[in-house]
A and B are shown apart, each in its own frame.
Chain A
């Protein structure tokens, strides 16, 4: 602690907490995580009194860049200048002392404590001994100073999400933040709460603070920010005045122009609806509406791609079809038969396979062996199970078949799955689910985090499955992957289907349109 303080003072000569920050300049920032380059020589200038939006797809490097600015990460290369003076932060606390504070997408509050206690926790200004009355007085002073209303005595778990966020913002402001970074602050808010937040952002900017606003909602960016910097694949594409931009031009910069050449594949002749959703709605884990009146048809022998920014109902959609999430409204039909509300094991028995988003915590049990993971779907069915007992010989036979088909490189089938590489794990999982899926395969981010070769393998598996008459519902954040793989594309935004595209004929205009819809703009709606 003491060490941190002295080292940050060395490069903080005239960055006294009371001195204003006029400008911040990040130049040529590089940051690499194992084999992923998150920031590719990014430049960013911030001026006092502005709301600056950072716009980009998932994985574009927005959060990494801001974590570098706020002391969570150190850049591999590049420099950060505050008022023209170079700084290096050894910790988030050091950045906070220099006046840079971040409010994370997922709050870091202690739910069983009051707002006042949360704000005073781990703060140098908090007296060693303080009465509850004094604490509340101090809290009210903070409320007054920043013109925000937070219930001082309620426990955090009793507050709404919007109020919790205000506690987070106040915590950062109370510590003297002159730069406030908000990481996707509206993702968890209702529209009213979001509007209130925007007012707060404007009034804070008016006092000479710098507000950095990370988002991928085009609407909000246009509405709130003074300037906007667009990141794509770890590189900054452009910084411009928001008033010069339209949602269309922003979408174009965000997702890029390049079209990917698609491989030729056999034409789908069958016209059977493998899966149909009729007016389906569902809730998310917090009990809010995640899917609204979804209608979709998945034919046998086609890949239906779902394009969208993460958190717009994709996970809920996959879980709903797999039987893991209750349907609150509407019907789900599998091969024309109503299967709404059936259990995951029943649906799996009748041919729905599911490659879940989170293969480490859901699709596979890392501590178990390859064999134990391979039989996860059919351990209860003949011949692997006989009268309640496991038949090891049959289990081994099935596992060897799976390992051979999935081309998993392993020294044996009794090896724990965690000893396999990520690519081999995913190949095993996808092959197992293809065995399960006699009619529909749901694949969520099937190639996320895989290297080039494994990505190629998994994609080939999916195309092969499609060509053999299976229906694939491909859910991916990677728009290029959706464009490359799908026969048809649906765009999802805030739990609703925005539009449908024939993937074989997607041109530049269409791609731009998909980008617009992913950002919540339909065709023909003016900005």
Chain B
């Protein structure tokens, strides 16, 4: 007993985890795919334990999501807000900022669009641009206070953006329940008389807006001086100050852009699928968007794929629920996938290395060769 214990201890002492200096991008992607596969296998096992047939369920789930036009449309439809809120989080993560406020900006964007939709009668080609501009502005304005507080006084943006979400929802409720109240539909405003144009079937053009914005942002961040500054400030703020970059101005701009993107998301949602302003049109997209951005490593193009993956998983959840799997199992499954992806992401940044141990320093006074563990101590 004691011997095996010491054996194990000796074995463990011989290895330790060391942070990799650089992680290859392909490794990060590979690990993510692997994590999703393992998660699906776990979920399959769980379904089998529930007395259902996993391959059967998987077949049906795939058939009704990837296997049908309607399923594909549903994926694209749900991916739209996830990509947009994902972008709003991702651009902030590039600057090492945590934007938890996309939910609130989404509601403010939706509110602004509803205000125009209900109070302005004009041709659709005039109304929609006005709605998008107003929605983007509303989102940006809602971000203004956290952005200024963060840029000038280093006030933690996690708290401020999160708190303002609740204010935004209450603000929307004043209008949905009171001012623009519809007497037929509970807790919702009147129907907005303008519908976002359809791409085909039930799918609206929101997905094009989301993808277009992602590509635009990718080009903007990749090709301009501003993008270079954002990258440098995010990676090393002291270096940015050393070359005299306007760090505060850039924080302000990036946060306002993030607010505007989430505001646009609100416009798409309220005119494309909800059609009425209410305090539950978001379905927590603002928070899911943070996860989308993390899975995408804050990469703009990656956000498109992460958004689609999330939408796929959520749609499968809906299908499985219809097949008699409990809602809790579905929540558990999505949680498991996220957890495994996060663990995989963490582990891919480390490698196992063998340690050179020396228990007994030599008695004679000769300088020793450097051993592997010492530079770490020097860095302390």
- On whether the beta carbons of A348 and B243 are closer than 8 Å, the reply is yes
Question: Quick one: which of A319-343 are within 8 Å of B by CB?
Answer: 322-324, 343
13 new A-B contacts, CB < 8 A, other than A35-B370, A74-B361, A322-B242, are A34-B374, A36-B378, A72-B377, A76-B361, A77-B363, A78-B365, A345-B244, A348-B244, A362-B238, A365-B232, A366-B236, A372-B232, A390-B228
Against A, the Cβ 8 Å flags (1 = close, 0 = not) of B232-261 are: 100110110111110000000000000000
A362 and B239 form a contact (CB under 8 A): yes
Interface assignment of B375: CB less than 8 Å from any CB of chain A? yes
Q: A363 vs B243: C-alpha distance in the bound complex, in angstroms?
A: 9
In contact, B236 and A418 (Cβ under 8 angstroms): no
A390 → chain B closest CB, angstroms: 6
In the assembled complex, the Cα of A377 lies from the Cα of B22 at a distance in Å of 25
Q: How far is the CA of A372 from the CA of B226 in the complex (A)?
A: 13
Taking Cβ atoms with an 8 Å cutoff, the residues of B that contact A are: 21-22, 223-228, 231-232, 235-236, 238-239, 241-245, 361-368, 370, 374-375, 377-378
Q: Is A522 an interface residue (CB 8 A)?
A: no
Q: How far is the CB of A95 from chain B (nearest CB, A)?
A: 16
Nearest Cβ on chain B to A31's Cβ, whole angstroms: 9
CB distance from B299 to the nearest CB of A (A): 14
Q: Is the CB of B235 within 8 A of A33?
A: no
Q: Which residues of A contact B364 (CB under 8 A)?
A: 77
Name the interface residues of A352-386: CB closer than 8 Å to any CB of B.
354, 356, 358, 361-368, 372, 375-377, 379-380, 385
Report whether B223 and A33 are in contact in the complex, using a CB–CB cutoff of 8 Å. no
Query: CB within 8 A of B242: which of A77, A354, A366, A372?
Result: A354
The contact sample of 22 A-B pairs, CB cut-off 8 A, is A32-B367, A33-B370, A33-B374, A34-B370, A37-B367, A72-B377, A76-B367, A77-B364, A77-B367, A324-B241, A324-B242, A343-B244, A361-B239, A363-B242, A366-B236, A367-B236, A368-B231, A372-B231, A379-B228, A380-B225, A390-B228, A419-B22
| A388 part of interface (Cβ distance < 8 Å) | yes
Q: Does A128 contact B (CB under 8 A)?
A: no
> Whole-angstrom distance from the CB of A81 to the nearest CB of chain B?
14
Tell me which residues across on chain A come within 8 A of B375, comparing CB atoms.
33-34
| B238 / chain A contacts, CB cutoff of 8 Å | 358, 361-362
Whether B374 lies near A361 (C-beta < 8 A) is no
Mark A residues whose CB is within 8 Å of B.
28, 30, 32-37, 40-41, 72-78, 322-324, 343-346, 348, 354, 356, 358, 361-368, 372, 375-377, 379-380, 385, 388-390, 416, 418-419
With known contacts A77-B368, A390-B224, A418-B22, A365–B374 Cβ distance under 8 A? no
A429: min CB distance to chain B, Å: 11
Chain A residues contacting B245 (CB-CB under 8 Å) are: 345
> A344 vs B240: C-alpha distance in the bound complex, in angstroms?
10
The answer to whether A77 touches B239 (Cβ under 8 A) is: no
> With a CB–CB cut-off of 8 A, which chain A residues contact B362?
76-77
Partner of B235, one of A323, A346, A362, A368: A368
Contact of B377 among A73, A323, A346 (CB under 8 A): A73
B235 touches A30 (CB 8 A): no
- In the complex, what residues of B have CB within 8 A of residue A33's CB? 370, 374-375, 377-378
Q: Name the residue of chain A whose CB is nearest to the CB of B369.
A: A32
> Contacts A33-B370, A367-B235, A380-B225; is A344 near B241 (CB within 8 Å)?
yes
Contacts of B374 in A (CB 8 A): 32-34
CA distance A365 to B235 in the complex (A): 7
Instruction: Given A33-B377, A77-B361, A376-B232, answer yes or no on A416-B243 (Cβ-Cβ < 8 Å).
Output: no
Give the Cβ gap from B258 to chain A, nearest Cβ, in Å.
20
Residues of A close to B365: CB separation below 8 A:
28, 30, 41, 77-78
Given the complex, which residues of A lie within 8 Å of B378, measured CB to CB?
33-34, 36
Residues on A with C-beta less than 8 A from B225 are: 379-380, 385, 388-390
Min CB–CB distance B236 → chain A (angstroms): 4
* Residues of B close to A75: CB separation below 8 A: 361
- The answer to whether residues A368 and B232 also contact, given A77-B364, A77-B368, A390-B224 and a CB cut-off of 8 A, is yes
- Give the distance in Å from the alpha carbon of A96 to the alpha carbon of B182 in the complex: 74
Tell me which residues across on chain B come within 8 A of A41, comparing CB atoms. 365
Decide yes or no: A362 and B242 within 8 Å by CB, A74-B361, A376-B232 being known contacts: yes
Residues of B within 8 A of A40 (CB): 367
Q: Are B366 and A416 in contact (CB under 8 A)?
A: no
Q: How far is the CB of B26 from chain A (nearest CB, A)?
A: 16
B8 smallest CB distance to A (angstroms): 13
* Complex alpha-carbon distance, A324 and B235, angstroms: 19
User: Please, which residues of chain B bring their CB within 8 A of the CB of A34?
Assistant: 370, 374-375, 378
The interface residues of chain A lying within 8 Å CB-to-CB of B21 are 418-419
Chain B min CB distance to A368 (Å): 6
Closest to A76 in B: B368
**Nearest chain B CB to A118's CB is how many angstroms away?**
21
Residues from chain A with Cβ under 8 Å of B235 in the complex: 365, 367-368
Most chain A CB inside 10 Å of its own CB: which residue of B227, B241, B374 = B374
Query: Chain B residues near A30 (CB, 8 Å)?
Result: 365-368
For B244, the closest partner residue in chain A by CB is A345
Determine how close the nearest CB of chain A comes to the CB of B281; give it in whole angstroms. Answer: 37
Report the bound CA distance from A464 to B151 in whole Å. Answer: 42
Residues of A within 8 A of B227 (CB): 390
Instruction: Tell me, in angstroms, the Cα distance from A388 to B224 when the chains sit together.
Output: 6
**Closest residue to A358 on the B side, CB-wise?**
B238
Whose C-beta in chain B lies nearest to the C-beta of A72? Answer: B377
Residues of B within 8 A of A358 (CB): 238
Bound CA–CA A75/B223 (angstroms): 52
Compute how far the CA of A388 lies from the CA of B231 in the bound complex, rounded to whole angstroms: 15
Q: Which 3 A-B pairs have the closest CB atoms?
A: A345-B244, A344-B244, A33-B378
B242 surroundings in chain A (CB, below 8 A): 322, 324, 344, 354, 356, 362-363
Give complex CA distance A389, B22 in Å.
Answer: 28
Closest A residue to B238 using CB positions: A362
In whole angstroms, how far apart are the Cα atoms of A463 and B21 in the complex?
34
Query: CA of A76 to CA of B367 in the docked complex: distance in angstroms?
Result: 8
Closest to A88 in B: B361
In the complex, the answer to whether B370 meets A32 with C-beta atoms within 8 Å is yes
Contact residues in B for A356 (Cβ distance below 8 Å): 242
Asked whether A361 and B236 contact (CB < 8 A) given A34-B378, A377-B243, the answer is yes
Nearest Cβ distance between residue B169 and chain A, in whole angstroms? 33
CB distance from A240 to the nearest CB of B (A): 23
A403 to chain B, nearest CB (A): 19
Instruction: Provide the bound-state CA to CA distance between A419 and B20, in Å.
Output: 11
Q: How far is the CA of A28 from the CA of B365 in the complex (A)?
A: 7
Give chain B residues whose Cβ lies under 8 Å from the Cβ of A419.
21-22
Q: Which residues of B contact A390 (CB under 8 A)?
A: 223-225, 227-228
Question: How many angstroms between the C-alpha atoms of A366 and B19 in the bound complex?
Answer: 15
Cα–Cα, bound, A416→B235 (Å): 13
Q: A380-B225, A388-B226, A390-B224 are in contact. Are A344 and B361 (CB under 8 A)?
A: no
Cα A289 to Cα B77 in complex, Å, equals 61
A34 to chain B, nearest CB (A): 5
Q: Whole-angstrom distance between the alpha carbons of A260 and B362 in the complex?
A: 36
Give the nearest-CB partner of A75 in chain B: B361
Q: Which residues of B contact A362 (CB under 8 A)?
A: 236, 238-239, 242
